[in-house]
């Protein structure tokens, strides 16, 4: 355990000391070692040891993460689907394995590796087709807000426990009447002396039911010159009086991922619950959303890679008309089209990952990645189900679960229609 964590921390120390920066890029050092094959020429799209953005240290970490998901997640996922949540024991095991808070700086209590190491965890979860664990949201959406904008006291209180899997994090943005339009939120926090009184409701909150701490997005200045100037973030802990968790929502997919409604009824919060500065919440959200969209995009691409390999194996075994359907030209051409589309998407996705590792990923590019990859995921899912025939419609087949899990990807993290708006705005801007 200690050796693996030291190796992970080496992934960040080998580089410049900037947060989330990668070690010396494999693109630059490849000439000093064997060249890494790209997925298009590898035996499988999910082979370890491929892709120029990664190093041998990433490969070692990937082997460890793959083993964890195959042994600690996959065998139990069907039961968790029935429960509508994973076990708390899994969270602590993930913490012990060094899979939580991977890219959070060591000085804050995180593992201290690079964002590419986080991507390894995202991808390996999708390679076992298990969407239940909300690790990525916890580690790479919630924790960065605390690490980047939290006080020293907040960081010390939450980050180590979150890295250990003993404190599960969630973020509450979406409301019944406000989704992609964050400026339309109605949850309101009013000052009362040095305290805040929080009222409102949130919906579709990942990790909501199991959460120990929730970052709540709330209006704090109704008189601001624009809604964006009057939003703040608050850290609300489970058990706080007036903080009520509603039902676990019954979704068509992501069955093992707990998703809940949250209610805040006259919740009294101390001044220390404010995350960052008052009325700066919208700017914090805008700064962190590119990473959230990158995360969704990479997990979408990894799901495509999983579905392709699952379907490749199926058509090589399934027989029709006296031979395997892999011998049919129409099936071969469909596989060729899908692999090409996935490899083209992976090339762009890896470029985005490298840009983010170098702190150069901008919002329009992240939006491109999110919209393109999640649309591709749904297209690949539809085609792979078709190639499975009737069996692809059966819940016990992995491709059926991948199909329904894919549908939400173009919706959350900002709908793909909003992604196109952000991309287009940058295209026509005179700035």
Q: Which helix (H) or strand (E) holds 357?
A: helix 329-357
CA atoms within 13 A on the CB side of 416: 18
| Residue in 223, 292, 310, 337 annotated catalytic | 292
Q: β-strand 323-324 against 319-320: which pairing, if any?
A: antiparallel
Decide if 334 contacts 378 (C-beta within 8 A): no
Residue whose structure tokens are 């490899």:
343
With CA atoms as reference, report the closest residue to 297 among 363, 252, 359.
Answer: 363
Decide if 244 contacts 202 (C-beta within 8 A): no
Active site (annotated) includes residue 292: yes
**b/e 105-124 (16+ beta carbons within 10 angstroms → b):** beebbbbbbbbbbbbbbbbb
Nearest-5° angle of CA 419, CA 290, CA 308? 70
- Return the DSSP state at 37: P
Pseudo-torsion of CA 277, 280, 282, 286, nearest 10°? -90
Residue 276 backbone phi and psi in degrees, to 5: 75, -150
- How far the first Cα of the chain sits from its last, in Å, is 50
Residues involved in catalysis? 292
């Amino acid at each position: 355990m200690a050796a693996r964590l030291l190796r992970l921390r080496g992934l960040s120390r080998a580089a410049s000391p900037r947060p989330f920066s990668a070690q010396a890029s494999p693109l630059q050092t490849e000439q000093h070692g064997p060249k890494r094959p790209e997925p298009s020429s590898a035996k499988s799209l999910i082979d370890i040891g491929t892709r120029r953005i990664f190093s041998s240290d990433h490969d070692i970490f990937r082997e460890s993460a793959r083993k964890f998901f195959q042994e600690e997640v996959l065998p139990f996922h069907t039961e968790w689907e029935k429960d509508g949540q994973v076990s708390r024991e899994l969270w602590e095991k993930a913490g012990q394995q060094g899979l939580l808070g991977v890219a959070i700086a060591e000085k804050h209590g995180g593992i201290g590796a690079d964002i590419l190491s986080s991507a390894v965890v995202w991808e390996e979860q999708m390679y076992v087709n298990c969407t239940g664990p909300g690790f990525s949201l916890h580690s790479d959406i919630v924790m960065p807000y605390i690490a980047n904008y939290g006080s020293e006291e907040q960081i010390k209180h939450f980050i180590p426990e979150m890295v250990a899997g003993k404190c599960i994090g969630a973020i509450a943005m979406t409301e019944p009447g406000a989704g992609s339009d964050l400026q339309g939120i109605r949850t309101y926090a009013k000052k009362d002396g040095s305290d805040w009184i929080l009222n409102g409701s949130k919906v579709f909150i990942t990790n909501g039911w199991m959460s120990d701490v929730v970052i709540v997005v709330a209006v704090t200045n109704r008189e601001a010159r624009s809604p964006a100037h009057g939003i703040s973030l608050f850290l609300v802990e489970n058990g706080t009086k007036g903080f009520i968790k509603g039902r676990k929502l019954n979704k068509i997919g992501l069955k093992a991922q707990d998703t809940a409604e949250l209610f805040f009824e006259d919740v009294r919060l101390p001044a220390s619950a404010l995350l960052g500065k008052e009325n700066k919440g919208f700017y914090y959200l805008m700064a962190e959303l590119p990473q959230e969209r990158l995360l969704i995009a990479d997990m979408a691409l990894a799901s495509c890679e999983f579905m392709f390999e699952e379907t490749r194996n199926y058509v090589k075994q399934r027989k029709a008309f006296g031979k395997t359907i892999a011998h049919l030209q129409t099936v071969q051409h469909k596989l060729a089209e899908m692999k090409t589309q996935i490899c083209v998407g992976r090339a762009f996705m890896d470029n985005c990952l490298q840009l983010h590792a170098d702190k150069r990923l901008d919002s329009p590019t992240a939006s491109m990645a999110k919209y393109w990859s999640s649309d591709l995921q749904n297209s690949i899912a539809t085609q792979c189900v078709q190639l499975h025939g009737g069996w692809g419609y059966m819940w016990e087949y992995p491709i059926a679960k991948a199909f329904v899990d894919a549908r939400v990807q173009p919706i959350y993290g900002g709908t793909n229609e909003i992604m196109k708006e952000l991309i287009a705005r940058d295209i026509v801007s005179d700035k």
